Structure 1
Amino acid sequence: MPRPKRDEQFETGEICIVHAVQRCVRRAFLAGVDAQTGKDYSFRKEWIRRRMEALASVFGIDVLSYAVMSNHLHVILRNRPDVVASWTDAEVAIRWLRVFPGRRMEEHLAEPTEHEVKVLTGNADRIAEIRQRMSDISWFMRSLAEPISRLANKQDECTGRFWEGRFKAQRIVDEAGLLACSMYVELNPVRAAIESDPEKAMHTSAFDRIQGSQGKRINSAAFDLKPIPTEEAARRIRETPVEELREQQRAKKRNPTGKRIRRDAWLAPLTLSPSKLAADAEVNRDGLRASDKGFLHVSIRDYLRLLRWTAKQSVDGIAANVPDSLASTLTQLGIDASMWRDLVWQWQRYFGKSICVGSPESMRKDAQRFGKHHHRGQASASACFA
């Protein structure tokens, strides 16, 4: 069965949450240890993480959870057209030019100038098109995948695809599905027996949040959202040797804003604020992410407790009851606590071939939007919900 059209799963004009999976070609270990050659490409995982962090600073898209594996990537994204609507035309232009600088005669400068921003904002139709793209999950994934492919191919001195093709997408339609999917994503390294617990699983959002809670800081990968004055750009080109300009540009790529941030500061906060209205965009003003809006009615403390408990339930056939203090969280979301372990660890059985994730009732309502009676996987998932 062919994959559904993107507009059947999500639209750029509405806020929705999507679980995206991008795989390497032939499921090769192009970001891990190659079993055939013994070469270790694990450092490319940090390429991918930093690129996501950079894109989170310019797109109107929240990164909720992620896991970078040796041969594939999981990421849960929430598009935010409401946030993009709050940006001025100049803000839209500088954000776009940071990601897509276009061809420049002075490639070694590679930074947008005030003149380029002014020219772009003068084209109303183009700005309207770009504004729509800045909250488009497909454009986010394209902007993530293409530069990684180019870097890997340049390093390997080859051409061809790094990724299989377009990413697989699953629309998440309620909080129960989001909680289960987030833990499924973050426990991928534990499921693959790469790590024994979330604290050690680098290149996952769980690792970032745990490190962040301990005060760990990193160099920010966020784009600098200030264009260069046109006169200053001209002066640099006239007075600075090309090699020096290129070195300055390489240094700026390592830390564009010169900031050090908490390791999880670029991710969307986990907990929804009870004091905020549902319609509040909660726009981030630090230039690190689209918004400060959380995504679960669960505290980070309870979330990590449930994550750690779930990580320990890796052996099939050994039943363990969810602690009462955690079971209440699941029950409130309509999840059968006795099936929680199975829902997360056997995720592929329930939702592996589905384009929609959530409780059976939420999946049924989503299917009705397209004149369907149900989504694939809806019946099997019903065993995990009260």
Structure 2
Amino acid sequence: MTRARNQIISTVDTPYYHCIARCVRRAFLCGEDPLTGRSYEHRRQWAIDRLALLQQVFCIDLCAYAVMSNHYHLVLCINESAAEVLTTDEVIERWCLLYKGPLLIQRYREGASLGKAEYKAIAEIVELWRSRLTDISWFMRSLNEHIARQANKEDRCKGHFWESRFKSQALLDDKALLTCMAYVDLNPIRAGLAETPERSDFTSVQLRISTLTEPTLLAPLALRSFDPRQDAVDAISYDFNDYLELVDYSGRAIRDDKRGYIPSSYPSILQRLDIDQDSWIKAMRPQGIHFSTVLGDSEHLKNYLAHRRQNYIVGSASLKRLLQ
């Protein structure tokens, strides 16, 4: 049974979420239509440009992404602390980058003389907008609606462009986060569109590698950084070089059931995180991590179920094998 979005996404459980949006029927987000020969590759840049704007608005960090031909993946982190310190004017400025806002807000921005009741109404609006700045549903809505309008205008058609709601998956711990990020970054390799991570266009791993090898490169998107020393609060607490080894190993390990792979070394991060090797390889296959709406080890899964007053969640047995 479909669960309400606010029952799936909650920072009480975790700030990290894996989100997937897929085009309806044979619609193309990107790629090339083999029947008509028409190319939609330029639409990949639409997604990047829109994400860049949303990063200026929302207090939601981007950990990983992959823009594919008929769907895309995002790994997001809700940054509530960033939203809490924003002033009234900063919240209004951010929200009005996307939406015009009511007349009262427009008058406030123009410096009009306002009464006490009007300032109270403005404060209520600002607090509502502040909560939306950390709302993944609003983030995804602002992304998908914009792309759908552009695509329908270009295709000269109307109607749905995306399949129902976007799918979301809670990532309960570091094991789940790194598993999901590697899965997302390996999408083009598994699809046979690239041979190595550094050649995987429109992925976060390619962007991270590019900024590492070319420090002066102006990155189109800001990604949540890696910091093994945990000096930075808003960072992933692992070393980026280990993550690269992890992605490289996972890509090499997938051979028989998928046309795309890269040639194998054993990454130290698998040992450090105590991730089962066979289950990890299975998880890197297509649909490999979509057996459950959450990812996390046994202890975090137990706490998640207790908080939501649930006794069971679909895919729990597979979760225990993957993330002990």
Q: TM-score if structure 1 supplies the norm length?
A: 0.74
For 1:382, the aligned partner's letter is K
Alignment-derived partner of residue 242 in structure 1:
none
Alignment-derived partner of residue 61 in structure 2:
62
Distance 1:273 1:131 in 2: 31
Asked if 1 retains the 8 angstrom alpha-carbon contact of 2:295 and 2:319, the reply is no
Distance 1:376 1:366 in 2: 13
Distance 2:273 2:39 in 1: 42
Distance 1:373 1:28 in 2: 39
Displacement of 1:15 after TM fit? 5.6
Post-superposition Cα deviations, 1:171-211, rounded to whole Å, max 9, x if no partner, equal 11011011111000110111111111111111110111011
Matched, 1:30 2:29: yes
Asked if 1 retains the 8 angstrom alpha-carbon contact of 2:254 and 2:284, the reply is no
- SS of aligned partner of 1:98: coil
Post-superposition Cα deviations, 1:267-324, rounded to whole Å, max 9, x if no partner, equal 1113354234xxx5xxxxxxxxxxxx212x3211111122122212221389xxx745
Post-superposition Cα deviations, 1:57-87, rounded to whole Å, max 9, x if no partner, equal 2211001101010000100111112110100
Distance 1:27 1:178, change over 3 A: farther
Alignment-derived partner of residue 238 in structure 1:
none
Distance 1:100 1:85 in 2: 21
Matches within 5 A, 1:229-248: none
Between 361-370 and 165-174, report the one with greater CA deviation: 361-370
Distance 1:352 1:383 in 2: 14
Distance 1:117 1:272 in 2: 49
Alignment-derived partner of residue 110 in structure 2:
115
Displacement of 1:116 after TM fit? 7.7
Distance 1:62 1:362 in 2: 22
Asked if 1 retains the 8 angstrom alpha-carbon contact of 2:298 and 2:320, the reply is yes
For 2:49, the aligned partner's letter is R
Matches within 5 A, 1:1-386: 2-11=1-10, 16-101=15-100, 114-115=109-110, 123-215=122-214, 261-263=218-220, 266-271=222-227, 273-276=229-232, 280=233, 293-295=234-236, 297-316=237-256, 323=265, 326-327=267-268, 329-345=269-285, 348-349=287-288, 351-386=289-324
Distance 1:184 1:116, change over 3 A: farther
Q: TM-score if structure 2 supplies the norm length?
A: 0.87
For 1:335, the aligned partner's letter is I
For 2:225, the aligned partner's letter is P
- SS of aligned partner of 1:262: coil
Distance 2:69 2:113 in 1: 42
- SS of aligned partner of 1:374: coil
- SS of aligned partner of 2:77: strand
Distance 1:115 1:189, change over 3 A: same
Asked if 1 retains the 8 angstrom alpha-carbon contact of 2:29 and 2:68, the reply is no
Distance 1:175 1:214, change over 3 A: same
Distance 1:103 1:36, change over 3 A: farther
Distance 1:65 1:57 in 2: 17
Asked if 1 retains the 8 angstrom alpha-carbon contact of 2:14 and 2:172, the reply is no
Identity %: 33
- SS of aligned partner of 2:157: coil
- SS of aligned partner of 1:345: coil
Asked if 1 retains the 8 angstrom alpha-carbon contact of 2:16 and 2:78, the reply is yes
- SS of aligned partner of 1:342: helix
Query: Aligned-pair RMSD on alpha carbons?
Result: 2.8
Q: Could you list the runs of 5+ residues in structure 1 that have no partner in the other structure?
A: 105-110, 219-260, 281-292
Distance 1:160 1:154 in 2: 11
Asked if 2 retains the 8 angstrom alpha-carbon contact of 1:216 and 1:263, the reply is no
Distance 1:29 1:91, change over 3 A: same
